[in-house]
Structure formats: structure tokens, C-alpha cells
């Protein structure tokens, strides 16, 4: 299956100059969605993992079925003001703007083995902020998985040294 057929390029969204990768056609197609999740979960099947952490919002769409497929619990990293309990906050830069991310302080215990998931690696700022949150809580990041990597933006440089898997490279 060519997953690329299910990724739609939207020029100048949400800002001029950004080529937005719309994954909704892939999510809508039951075969493409299931195959993509299976292919993303496969490398982690035999790895020791305690939790899958997904980044709001598209990281939830990819991360929760991966957690289900791998038989692991799921921990959300959320946009500001969404989490109800004691939390840690990190600032980060986006390809189009800046924001904050939060995690519950009691979500991760020291030494927990974490698989971090998001839909897309662009500049890597979002991922790096999430890495910092997880590590501040003592989590041990054993892998970072993305559906799609934008190669020109060199996001990998921000998260050097981690085990990174990307299903598609554009
Ligand atoms: P970054 O922090 O630059 O790596 O951006 C990654 C986050 O922003 C991901 O959660 C993506 O959902 C979103 N994102 C950034 N650039 C794009 C793009 N060109 N198309 C779709 N989503 C994007």
C-alpha cells in the first residue's frame, strides 16, 4: 500500500508559505489507517515499553491506536489549560508559531520506558518540548515514532541520539 496516496498537500495553510500535510484521507480509509498503525507499531512489538505518550492533537489519533496495538497504556501531552491535575509546562516553537505543552506530574514515574508518538516531524520543536517534559519526570524515552517526516526541516537534529522511526518521508 502506498500511504503517500492518502496524504493531501494543502499549500499556504494555516499560513502563507506552509505546505500543510493533511492526513485526514489516510484516517478516513479503513485499510490505509489500519495498515499505517500496524506498520508504525511493528518496530516496537518486542521492545520493552511501559507507556505510549501522544502529543495533542494528531499525536492522539496516531498514538492511541498504537498503544492499543502494543497493549500499553496511553499518556497525553496536551495544549495549555486542558489538563486538570498538577502539571509540568514546556515552551516550544512551531513551524508556524509558538505554544506550550503540558503533562500531568504523576503521569510518569522515574525509569518508565516511553514510546513518544506524533503525526509529523517538522522542525522538531514540538517533539523536543515533549521529550523535555518526559525526561523531567524521569521517563526513559526508548523510541520516537512519526507517521510523516518533513526532511527539509531537519527536525531530527533537535532530537539527536534518540531512536526515531518515521513511516513516510517527504
Ligand atoms: P514541529 O514542532 O515543527 O516539528 O511541528 C510538528 C507539529 O506541528 C506536529 O504536531 C504537526 O501536527 C504540526 N505540523 C507542523 N508542520 C506541519 C505541516 N507542514 N503539515 C501538517 N502539520 C504540521
Read off the pLDDT of residues 80-135 as tens digits, 9 standing for 90 and up. Answer: 999 999 999 998 877 666 799 999 999 999 999 999 999 999 999 999 999 999 99
By the 8 A CB rule, do 149 and 120 touch? yes
**What is the Cα–Cα distance from 1 to 26, expressed in whole angstroms?**
11
Mean pLDDT of the chain: 96
* Residue 58 annotated in active site: yes
Selecting among 56, 58, 78, 102, the annotated active-site residue is 58
Whether the pLDDT of residue 149 is over 70: the answer is: yes
Selecting among 56, 78, 95, 149, the annotated active-site residue is 95
Contacts of 161 by beta carbon, 8 Å cutoff, 6+ apart = none
Q: Give residue 98's pLDDT.
A: 76
H or E element in which residue 125 lies: helix 125-136
Name the pTM for this structure.
0.97
Query: Ligand 1: does its nearest atom lie under 6 Å from the Cβ of 120?
Result: yes
Count of CB atoms situated within 10 Å of the CB of 159:
18
Whether the pLDDT of residue 42 is over 70: the answer is: yes
Instruction: Please check whether the domain covering 43-169 is classified as CATH 3.40.50.2020.
Output: yes
Distance of CA 127 to the CA centre of its chain: 7
Q: Give residue 92's pLDDT.
A: 82
| 94 vs 60 pLDDT, higher one | 60
Q: How many residues does the chain have?
A: 170
132, three cell numbers: 523535555
> DSSP E strands: which ranges in the chain?
8-11, 19-22, 51-55, 73-77, 87-94, 97-104, 113-121, 140-149, 164-169
Of the residues 16, 26, 95, 154, which should be mutated to test ligand 1's pocket, given the most ligand atoms within 8 Å of the CB? 95
Q: Give residue 96's pLDDT.
A: 61
List phi, psi (to 5°) of 25.
Answer: -65, -35
Please give the number of the atom of ligand 1 that sits closest to the Cα of 22.
21
Min mean pLDDT across 67-71, 97-101, 138-142 is at 97-101
Amino acid at each position: 500500500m502506498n500511504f503517500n496516496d492518502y496524504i493531501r498537500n494543502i499549500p499556504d495553510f494555516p499560513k502563507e508559505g506552509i505546505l500543510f500535510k493533511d492526513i485526514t484521507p489516510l484516517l478516513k480509509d479503513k485499510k490505509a489507517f489500519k495498515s499505517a498503525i500496524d506498520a508504525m507499531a511493528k518496530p516496537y512489538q518486542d521492545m520493552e515499553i511501559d507507556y505510549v505518550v501522544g502529543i495533542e492533537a494528531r499525536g492522539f489519533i496516531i498514538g492511541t491506536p498504537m498503544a492499543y496495538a502494543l497493549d500499553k497504556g496511553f499518556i497525553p501531552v496536551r495544549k495549555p489549560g486542558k489538563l486538570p491535575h498538577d502539571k509540568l509546562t514546556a515552551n516550544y516553537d512551531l513551524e508556524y508559531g509558538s505554544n506550550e505543552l503540558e503533562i500531568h506530574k504523576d503521569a510518569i514515574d522515574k525509569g518508565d520506558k516511553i514510546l513518544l508518538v506524533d503525526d509529523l516531524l517538522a522542525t522538531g520543536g514540538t517533539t523536543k518540548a515533549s521529550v523535555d517534559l518526559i525526561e523531567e519526570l524521569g521517563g526513559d524515552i526508548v523510541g520516537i515514532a512519526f507517521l510523516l517526516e518533513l526532511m527539509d526541516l531537519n527536525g531530527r537534529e533537535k532530537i539527536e541520539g534518540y531512536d526515531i522511526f518515521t513511516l513516510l518521508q517527504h
